[in-house]
Amino acid sequence: MHQPGIPHLAAADPQVAALVEGEARRQFEKIRLIASENYVSAAVLEATGTVLTNKYSEGYAGKRYYEGQQFIDPVETLAIERAKALFGVDHANVQPYSGSPANLAVYLALANPGDTVMGMALPAGGHLTHGWGVSATGKWFRSVQYGVRKDTGRVDLDEVRALALAERPKLIFCGGTAIPRTIDFAGFAEIAREVDAVLVADIAHIAGLVAGGAHPSPVGHARIISTTTHKTLRGPRGAMLMSDAEFAKPLDKAVFPGLQGGPHNHTTAAIAVALGEASQPGFRTYAANIVANAKALADALLARGFDLVSGGTDNHLILIDLSNKGVGGKPAAKALDRAGIELNYNSVPFDTRKPFDPSGVRLGTSAVTTRGLTVDHMPRLAEWIDRAVAAGDDTEIDKIAAEVRELLADHPMPGWV
């Protein structure tokens, strides 16, 4: 059953309660390999369900537009101070509702419509809000996009530098949603300085790895850092902006009143809890284990003939091009879901298929590491993935799903008992 329990919900609205219970069981019984997902702790779950959700708090600590902030201000201040200490930054704003609004706040703070901005192209692994055409950031700004080399699947900083020198962007974004390799923050910073641009590091996917010392930090290189608070950081669905002191006021003003009203105080409290957890020594072990599991899984997939973009991974994320397997990413992802293995179909660099029916799948090891799976389990995961992708009938799919449930029965999940 769901933990913490939901007896009042079950009594008041059994239909919704049944859906919550069903989702909790689904998360318990499946190997969750979606790179942007994780399991939060029971403490984070409890924080998100408190009476803090009842309170409006437009403004910032000490400067609110509503009375009754005697406990809200300390909650937000605590989250800010923990973020500053954990990441070693001058300033932190914990109010953004999610990663996209956090990135939009950067544009609002530092750019005007029509200004040139630069980011990684979505098909190469970037994010919609880094200037991709269908996003407001691609419609309201003059966006130029860099990608990866076809022969290596990696960013070529010489090509990035040449593009930056030619286009002279005001902002340069590094980071993205499907980058399996270490981001060279120092290299990007050197380019940004050369063209007098502000470097923004979007570390939404790797924030937990940065906090845990398993990925180099952008601090000291990127003037502004944007991140979500879930994924590898293992917090609630929220976001943060961190920066040099120089950008504190414009970023705060862009978040509120520029883009948002009152912060979600229950989420702020949960962010504070997650940041406290990430500051503990054990979190460094956890971050290292995420990377170790990803490398072990990548090696096992390579051994089974899978084509990995860039040939492997340095972090939590693996991007597989299934072209050589004769199957598209979408049918593979759906077969794997039926087999008890959850991931997402995803475009790969230079993909010849459409985004809604791409050639690849994306997976990550944060959630399975939270469940206690180790490098010893990764070859078995690769075997299941291989069998499910090649399966010709539901009998094999059902057999894999049963094997998955058997394995996970011995690995507790926060939020389920």
Give me the phi and psi of 143, to 5 degrees please.
-100, 135
Residue length of the chain: 417
Q: Other C-beta atoms within 10 Å of 54: how many?
A: 8
For residues 39 and 55, what is the distance between their CA atoms, to the nearest angstrom? 26
Identified catalytic residue from 228, 268, 365, 369: 228
State yes or no: is 58 an active-site residue.
yes
The residue written with tokens 């996970």 in the block is 408
DSSP 254: I
Identified catalytic residue from 32, 39, 177, 202: 202
The CA-atom distances, in angstroms, between 296 and each of 10, 208, 292, 376 are 42, 19, 6, 8
Identify which of 267, 265, 274, 264 has the alpha carbon closest to the alpha carbon of residue 232: 274
Identified catalytic residue from 56, 77, 253, 353: 56
> Amino acid identity of 106?
V
Identified catalytic residue from 21, 46, 58, 398: 58
For residues 188 and 173, what is the distance between their CA atoms, to the nearest angstrom? 9
State yes or no: is 56 an active-site residue.
yes
Q: Other C-beta atoms within 10 Å of 15: how many?
A: 6
Q: In what order do the strands lie in the sheet with 317-321?
A: 307-308, 317-321, 360-364, 344-346
Omega before 257 within 30 of 0, i.e. cis: yes
Identified catalytic residue from 55, 64, 237, 284: 237
- Asked whether 106 and 238 are in contact (CB, 8 A), the reply is no
Report the SS3 class of residue 321.
Answer: strand
State yes or no: is 65 an active-site residue.
no
The residue written with tokens 């995803």 in the block is 346
State yes or no: is 202 an active-site residue.
yes
Report the alpha-carbon angle 248-190-221, nearest 5. Answer: 35
- To the nearest 10°, report the CA torsion of 131, 118, 130, 202: -170
Identified catalytic residue from 32, 231, 295, 330: 231
Instruction: Kindly state the helix (H) or strand (E) to which residue 239 belongs, with its residue range.
Output: strand 239-243
- Asked whether 48 and 75 are in contact (CB, 8 A), the reply is no
Quote the tokens at residue 149.
């080399």
DSSP 327: -
| Cross-strand bridge partners of residue 243 | 91, 224
- Report, as residue numbers or ranges, the catalytic residues: 56, 58, 202, 228, 231, 237
